[in-house]
């Protein structure tokens, strides 16, 4: 298992030696202090202290997210300030080394103080997506998945077929769920085709942008750095609104019982995100495409877990309560069906 390997003394020592070698190129030396706060099947992160007091972060990615070091390095080159400063990358081992970018916004402010910060931050993120749309081919060359709307149609069908062959206690579908999924399939294809027809260019979609993945060294959205791009893909940029708005609403205690995000403060955050896109379409069209991207993005989120846990033993998928199936079946939730 990846976690057992990545938390072993031999691995940590190997990582520490690599970090020390890479830091010499930047005039830095390790102090010897380190901490490993994150170790999951898809990645692990270790913080190392330097003799100057500066903290750096080592990260290793598993097979399904091995593109992250290359993608983050590219994003840092294309848009300095979007991600933490990348100091080194080992593409063969999917290792990366970055400067510490400060505390996460979740540890700095409670949810009730974040509304205006979210509006400013997501407006900046949207502008970054528009800029990065011109570099879609370069981002795909890093190995990032291509999950544009029309690609999702094929993945929907594949996931449906694979889960139909599994029993429910193996992460498969019940007969009733299978009937419901098949009933939804034509609508899902239509949603993907409609979204693909929008003039919004494909770009990077972080797909897990929440308050624990935003470093916040000052109360200024311009200084924020976005971390943890292991779920990212090249897709319709509005797909980011699924995980992001759900997380914002959940942590603020306003997430609807049926998955709704209708609180006015959440909708203001959505509209702030959409503001940079108003040159491409009117507000009604943009709002419609956000809903389409959120609905079709349930498959994208399922694929993120499929990639992240693809090399893990079956018991790990079971311990996570079969998240591939969970996100796939989100398509059957009331917040989606209300638009049918």
Write the DSSP symbol of residue 146: B
pLDDT of the residue at 338: 58
Asked if 121 contacts 219 with a C-beta cutoff of 8 angstroms, the reply is no
pLDDT of the residue at 340: 41
Length of the chain equals 340
pTM above 0.85, yes or no: yes
pLDDT of the residue at 195: 98
Q: What are the structure tokens assigned to 151, written together? A: 């690609």
| 82 CB-near residues (< 8 Å, 6+ apart) | 75, 76, 128, 225, 226
Q: Rounded to an integer, what distance in angstroms lies between the CA atom of residue 330 and that of residue 246? A: 12
Asked if 296 contacts 196 with a C-beta cutoff of 8 angstroms, the reply is no
Q: What are the structure tokens assigned to 283, written together? A: 């507000």
Q: Which helix (H) or strand (E) holds 74?
A: helix 68-78
pLDDT of the residue at 258: 76
Asked if 328 contacts 302 with a C-beta cutoff of 8 angstroms, the reply is yes
140-144, long-range: CB within 8 Å, 24+ apart, which pairs?
A: 140/234, 142/67, 142/70, 142/71, 142/74, 143/66, 143/67, 143/70, 143/71, 144/67, 144/71, 144/204, 144/232, 144/233, 144/234
If one looks up domain 2-99 in CATH, what number appears? 3.30.200.20
Q: Measure Cα distances from 252 to 112, 115, 120, 210 in Å.
A: 6, 9, 17, 12
Asked if 251 contacts 302 with a C-beta cutoff of 8 angstroms, the reply is no
Q: Provide the 10 A C-beta neighbour count for residue 258.
A: 11
pLDDT tens, residue order, the chain (340 aa): 589 999 999 999 999 999 999 999 999 999 999 999 999 999 999 999 999 999 999 999 999 999 999 999 999 999 999 999 999 999 999 999 999 999 999 999 999 999 999 999 999 999 999 999 999 999 999 999 999 999 999 999 999 999 999 999 999 999 999 999 999 999 999 999 999 999 999 999 999 999 999 999 988 899 999 999 999 999 999 999 999 999 999 999 999 877 789 999 999 999 999 999 999 999 999 999 999 999 999 999 999 999 999 888 889 999 999 999 999 999 999 998 755 4
Q: Provide the 10 A C-beta neighbour count for residue 38.
A: 14
81 three-state secondary structure? coil
User: Where are any strands of DSSP class E within the chain?
Assistant: 30-39, 43-50, 55-61, 86-90, 95-99, 203-205, 214-215, 225-226, 233-235
Q: Rounded to an integer, what distance in angstroms lies between the CA atom of residue 44 and that of residue 309? A: 14
pLDDT of the residue at 313: 87
Q: Provide the 10 A C-beta neighbour count for residue 318.
A: 12
Q: Rounded to an integer, what distance in angstroms lies between the CA atom of residue 214 and that of residue 191? A: 30
Residue intervals in the chain for CATH 3.90.1200: 105-337
If one looks up domain 105-337 in CATH, what number appears? 3.90.1200
Residue intervals in the chain for CATH 3.30.200.20: 2-99
327 three-state secondary structure? helix
- Neighbouring-strand partners of residue 226: 214
């Amino acid at each position: 298992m990846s976690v057992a390997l990545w938390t072993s003394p031999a691995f940590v020592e190997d990582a520490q030696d690599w970090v020390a070698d890479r830091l010499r190129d930047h005039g830095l030396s390790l102090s010897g202090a380190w901490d490993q706060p994150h170790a999951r099947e898809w990645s692990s992160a270790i913080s190392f202290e330097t003799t100057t007091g500066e903290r750096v972060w080592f990260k290793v990615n598993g097979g399904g997210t091995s593109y992250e070091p290359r993608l983050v390095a590219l994003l840092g080159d294309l848009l300095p300030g979007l991600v933490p400063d990348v100091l080194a990358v080992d593409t063969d081992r999917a290792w990366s080394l970055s400067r510490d970018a400060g505390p996460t916004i979740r540890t700095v402010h409670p949810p009730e103080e974040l509304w205006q910060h979210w509006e400013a931050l997501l407006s900046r993120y949207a502008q970054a997506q528009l800029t990065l749309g011109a570099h879609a081919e370069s981002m795909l060359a890093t190995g990032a998945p291509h999950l544009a709307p029309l690609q999702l149609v094929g993945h929907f069908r594949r996931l449906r077929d694979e889960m139909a062959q599994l029993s429910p206690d193996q992460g498969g579908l019940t007969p009733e769920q299978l009937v419901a999924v098949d009933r939804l399939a034509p609508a899902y294809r239509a949603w993907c085709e409609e979204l693909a027809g929008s003039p919004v260019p494909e770009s990077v979609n972080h797909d897990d942008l929440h308050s624990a993945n935003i470093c916040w060294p000052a109360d200024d959205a311009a200084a924020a750095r976005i971390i943890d791009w292991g779920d990212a893909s090249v897709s319709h940029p509005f797909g980011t609104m699924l995980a992001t708005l759900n997380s914002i609403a959940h942590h603020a205690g306003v997430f609807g019982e049926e998955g709704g995000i209708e609180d006015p403060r959440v909708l203001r955050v959505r509209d702030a995100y959409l503001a940079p896109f108003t040159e491409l379409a009117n507000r009604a069209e943009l709002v419609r495409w956000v809903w389409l991207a959120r609905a079709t993005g349930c498959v994208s989120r399922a694929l993120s877990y499929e990639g992240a846990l693809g090399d893990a033993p079956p018991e790990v998928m079971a311990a996570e309560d079969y998240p591939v199936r969970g996100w796939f079946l989100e398509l059957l939730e009331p917040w989606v069906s209300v638009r049918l």
